[in-house]
Amino acid sequence: MAFRVATFNANSIRARLDQVLGWLARYAPDVLALQETKVQDHEFPAEAFQQAGYYVAFRGQKAHAGVALITREAPEEVSYGLDDGQGEPDEARLIAAKVRGLPIVNTYVPQGREVESPHFAYKLEWLRRLRRYFERHYRPDEPLLWVGDLNVAPLEIDVHDPRGLREHVDFHPLARAALEEVIAWGFVDVFRLHHPDEPGQYTYWDYRVRGAVERNIGWRVDHILATEPLARRSTCAWVDVEARRGERPSDHTFLVAEFALDDL
């Protein structure tokens, strides 16, 4: 049976709880990684997921960020944050666990705000720290899944206007290079593995752009990446655009991939 994994920036889990529960009931993933839950831990609606038959691990903070793993089987070896002691651990931006023995890292990479701001410099350093995190804890020749809202569109076909957006913090050459350095450690972009040349495949459409979904003015900033031993077991990957058209949607939508893990 396929192992189905999805990632979704909820942009407030309390505002999007019904949508997420409905999506879980419809698609029954083995793992759903959430970002931008925007709740402190005591406010996370864990009971609703448990009643739906899922385990949940999460770490949040007030007003922004927040990550969670919703899993069919109990997660093991759950940890939070960058553990290098070189800066803020940012526990509300990284959660790692094993599910059915498969290591999974879910990240919400800082957005960066403006290129000239310290927030953008922090984003670049955060990605450098993430590369070192993978080097310390994992091996590229063993199965590993990295998912989340990475706040970077890697390729020109991943944005609706590559020339006009070149200086944007989510498409800036420095941000793309920083992400590529992490990917070069040993990851495969699972979506692009199955859709190598397809433009217009996005996971985010800005609320502020009138008719963004209908006109497909979007970005691909949410990603599912796997080390090569796991990537070669991937069978498909797709974006659920319809979820973005629903009632009171997030500005992101669900990205899904499936893997054949029987022989893992």
Active-site residue flag, 149: yes
Choosing from 108, 138, 202, 204, the catalytic residue is: 108
Q: How far apart are CA 163 and CA 63, in angstroms?
A: 33
State how far the alpha carbon of 17 is from the alpha carbons of 40, 117, 134, 148, 176, in Å: 15, 33, 31, 18, 32
Choosing from 54, 80, 138, 149, the catalytic residue is: 149
Active-site residue flag, 80: no
Rg, Å, the chain Cα set: 17
- Give the tokens for residue 107: 């990240």
Q: How far apart are CA 170 and CA 75, in angstroms?
A: 31
Q: What is the DSSP letter of 87?
A: S
In sequence order, the 6+-apart residues with CB closer than 8 A to the CB of 51 are none
Give the residue numbers marked as catalytic: 108, 149
